[in-house]
Structure 1
């Protein structure tokens, strides 16, 4: 999945920093050609206007100091570096917006449940990390979790408002109101697959890149036979990505933005039949998947108590105690560099699930984004703070990279680790995934040399994401969707990791429970709304 945006931003800024500041912005011109190279906007000359400027020419009163919360997905850092960086961030926010930022962490253990409960609680949070394809954004919007931003953005986040083109804002709307700010100006691939050791693959006689599950199984068996003390794969039993990965490798189905919890069960049949609702759960695809997972589980490719395991598989890969990690391209690019240091000669490689059939679909621009909580007490200041984080290079670099000289140094325009850097002592992250932009990025001087070739290969086969403006209205099937999601959560994990007994019987029982929960009514409603979406798309051409 791929995201590229081209944009040229011209902003005239006037005024001086005080309790209020006026900025005048001219609209951007934008070309959303995802096949072209990213063209970065001109640098902002007065980043403070992003927080305190008013595109309308009016004045903004920032005399009252306000604390702004920001919901982030991730485990709170524990080495003290985060606090040191935030002290600097907040000094700048105090100066530029008379505000302070507090991160509200939703940690990875049971993250989906915790995140949705937080949003449903009515707690007055300000900024919220969102994503329409993995964080149930539309479902939460339907529950009233977010504040409409149409009237606020031009005044309180003027640089972001002009930077995001109308076609992108259209993909952020629910009932014709803007519900989130998209991370639409950041280049990334987040198509999933397996990270594996190239040195071990060669040792096991696998001399070409892994491109199918059968060869992956041979790799796992090689680890089992020849690497005592190493777990072929040590997954967290709550992860459902493996189901979507198998479907991606064995069909051309495209998962629809209709969340059913642990893994999706309703897809568009293919890119050519994108408006036809289809479920691979009800054909041989899922039966074959369940059989393979039972076989792999029986062979000991993961631990016996996988369903209760909460460990860190990536850390085990880095320590040489696991042979793979399941995640996406961006993770691979970072881990490749890290593994070259931690496991010299490991030659980390990546098997994208889409490489089996070359059926790569681009990424929604709302894969990452930021919303404002419906009960936020300070939505205006929250947007000012967001505009600063996204647009002010100094604050952006702090939020994304940490302190220069501690977490990184810049040489010849590229970012490197300082001499003596210790990952446990000095590591920093904020998990800011809701508004990164290419123009403020500092290129990584140690990035994987094969990155350009990977991106070029993806470019040759990608198809544009077809559901960016499809918002499923669950109101007619709320009960059915809830019941189906519960069945997925209750029965799915055991099937996914080969712990449900006979796989054919397990899948048939799963299907029966889905039907009893109202699956047929749910799929019929999805199809009805896809038909309406098709009409809308075709009429707008």
Structure 2
């Protein structure tokens, strides 16, 4: 984006915010607009508000809860200094990031939201950050009346059908990251050079071939842990279910991993658990085999190291994560491990079971106890809509973190990742229109995306909100059992796999699993009726 376009949109956005601060229109019609909406269009749907409620004369500090480890090289502070200078000028506000670090992140995040602390902006996600559960606990402020006035560009940018997927009890609980193209389907990142060395000449598409790859590493790469897995993670079971069933995970949180799925895309309203059929037994046997062969550390259940860092250092042969991570790591590995030819085995490749990402995989909410919700939305609007602020939050300082060439981003000469790296982990409102293409993107990215587009199915549960009230006690007990018993099964440390699985199932049943699944089915039936009646 050239400077003239940046300036034009920046002026339009500033005018929009200024106009909305004095607007007192009462229209509440919702319209969908394109990028670059003018101030007049954006405020045409402004909510009724009195000027006194929109006074920005008081300088306010806005907090933003982000997931991730706080950067330690000083670059983050330099970027935020620039961001806050702009925010002071345009919204008389300052942004402070409140980090929820990765160590025990899920517990810390949910405790923060349950504490009642008056945080302002909050990174949310309905599929991995318990958004609906937290909404049921009253963690978020309804945004319906605030958005048209304090974030008018975003209000118009998000179409009505997308706003519908952000509602709990018919109130908007979050702003979706619905205008950003990404794939977060999971799989194994593995070294293509080593795979060829072990006689694996075609892309890996199943777990049996992945086992052959691991055995090659074990036999021929001394000092390398085939999969230096973190024993607190549970991506392997979800991945295996994705590879060997047609099941689609439901947004019903049962702790370390989810137990209840929709049977298939054609039977999306039928509650089903692969934990209670042969799928989980087959998985447990494979993990026992892999563990016995030494594909991970003997003390895997106590290991909390950084698998990705080990891959980058040549000390591990895989990492388990999603497509977007693979695309970034592909570039890094080309530099850190020249010739590694990093490849990706998406779990969906085994049987083409690929569902598009929910538009609420990323989003932003306002804390229920926020003292400055109006100003918080103004700040959010600037981060999402103002190109200058957006580029700072996502890329850092031009000339330090990146340089521009032919409309694309490149690393500056002499860039040092330890010294110069920057991230803000803003995952709650990225938009394609404000992205600057990465000039170092992997050349195969387009083909990979195209292969996904050929087989993807739309996510069917965007508007399904599970109400746990009727099974709250059972859900608590089941979540505890999953956390206590499952890790040993997931990494082959529970003894005989069949016995371990049967014991696990028995405990789940005793805790009320059947009642839980019946309640899920009841709510799916009601959801199906609602969906079909709206067609």
Task: Give TM-score, length-normalised by structure 1.
Answer: 0.93
User: Where does 1:325-344 land on structure 2 (aligned, <5 Å)?
Assistant: 325-344=319-338
**Corresponding residue for 1:258?**
252
- Name which of 62, 67, 75 aligns with 1:68: 62
- State whether structure 2 residue 361 is matched by structure 1 residue 361: no
- CA offset at residue 430 of structure 1? 0.5
- Write the distance in 2 (CA, Å) between the matches of 1:105 and 1:258: 26
**Corresponding residue for 1:79?**
73
- State whether structure 2 residue 436 is matched by structure 1 residue 442: yes
- Write the distance in 2 (CA, Å) between the matches of 1:434 and 1:487: 32
Structure 1 residues 415 and 404: CA distance shift in structure 2, 3 A: same
- Name which of 463, 467, 474 aligns with 1:469: 463
Native 8 Å contact 1:73 1:108 kept in 2: yes
| 1:248-297 C-alpha deviation (Å, 9 max, x unpaired) | 00100001000011101000000000000000000000011011111101
Structure 1 residues 50 and 407: CA distance shift in structure 2, 3 A: farther
**Corresponding residue for 2:181?**
187
- Write the distance in 2 (CA, Å) between the matches of 1:138 and 1:351: 31
**Corresponding residue for 1:108?**
102
- Write the distance in 1 (CA, Å) between the matches of 2:406 and 2:307: 35
- Write the distance in 1 (CA, Å) between the matches of 2:340 and 2:390: 33
- Name which of 408, 415, 429 aligns with 1:414: 408
- Write the distance in 1 (CA, Å) between the matches of 2:460 and 2:466: 14
- CA offset at residue 18 of structure 1? 6.9
Structure 1 residues 27 and 142: CA distance shift in structure 2, 3 A: closer
**Corresponding residue for 1:508?**
502
Native 8 Å contact 1:20 1:61 kept in 2: no
**Corresponding residue for 1:482?**
476
**Corresponding residue for 1:201?**
195
**Corresponding residue for 1:38?**
none
- CA offset at residue 309 of structure 1? 1.1
Native 8 Å contact 1:19 1:63 kept in 2: no
- State whether structure 2 residue 43 is matched by structure 1 residue 43: no
- CA offset at residue 305 of structure 1? 1.1
- CA offset at residue 412 of structure 1? 0.8
Native 8 Å contact 1:185 1:438 kept in 2: yes
- State whether structure 2 residue 146 is matched by structure 1 residue 160: no
Native 8 Å contact 1:340 1:346 kept in 2: yes
- Write the distance in 2 (CA, Å) between the matches of 1:191 and 1:75: 23
**Corresponding residue for 1:374?**
368
- CA offset at residue 20 of structure 1? 7.8
- Output the aligned Cα RMSD: 2.2
- Name which of 88, 92, 112 aligns with 1:94: 88
- Return 5+ residue gaps in structure 1 as ranges: 1-8, 31-40
- Write the distance in 2 (CA, Å) between the matches of 1:126 and 1:50: 24
| 1:153-174 C-alpha deviation (Å, 9 max, x unpaired) | 1111111001000000000000
Structure 1 residues 183 and 275: CA distance shift in structure 2, 3 A: same
- CA offset at residue 29 of structure 1? 3.6
- Name which of 117, 140, 143 aligns with 1:123: 117
SS in 2 for 1:407: coil
- Name which of 441, 445, 453 aligns with 2:447: 453
- Write the distance in 1 (CA, Å) between the matches of 2:161 and 2:149: 20
- Return 5+ residue gaps in structure 2 as ranges: 1-8
SS in 2 for 1:70: strand
| 1:454-486 C-alpha deviation (Å, 9 max, x unpaired) | 011001000000000000000111111111111
- Write the distance in 2 (CA, Å) between the matches of 1:399 and 1:238: 30
User: Where does 1:515-534 land on structure 2 (aligned, <5 Å)?
Assistant: 515-534=509-528
**Corresponding residue for 2:391?**
397
- CA offset at residue 42 of structure 1? 3.2
- Write the distance in 2 (CA, Å) between the matches of 1:272 and 1:478: 29
Structure 1 residues 16 and 248: CA distance shift in structure 2, 3 A: closer
Native 8 Å contact 2:226 2:318 kept in 1: yes
SS in 1 for 2:189: strand
Native 8 Å contact 2:67 2:425 kept in 1: yes
Native 8 Å contact 1:237 1:497 kept in 2: yes
Task: Give TM-score, length-normalised by structure 2.
Answer: 0.94
Native 8 Å contact 2:20 2:149 kept in 1: no
- Write the distance in 2 (CA, Å) between the matches of 1:20 and 1:167: 24
- Write the distance in 2 (CA, Å) between the matches of 1:17 and 1:469: 31
SS in 1 for 2:89: helix
Native 8 Å contact 1:43 1:439 kept in 2: no
- Name which of 263, 281, 285 aligns with 1:291: 285
- Write the distance in 2 (CA, Å) between the matches of 1:46 and 1:345: 51
| 1:299-341 C-alpha deviation (Å, 9 max, x unpaired) | 1100111111111111111111110000000011111111111
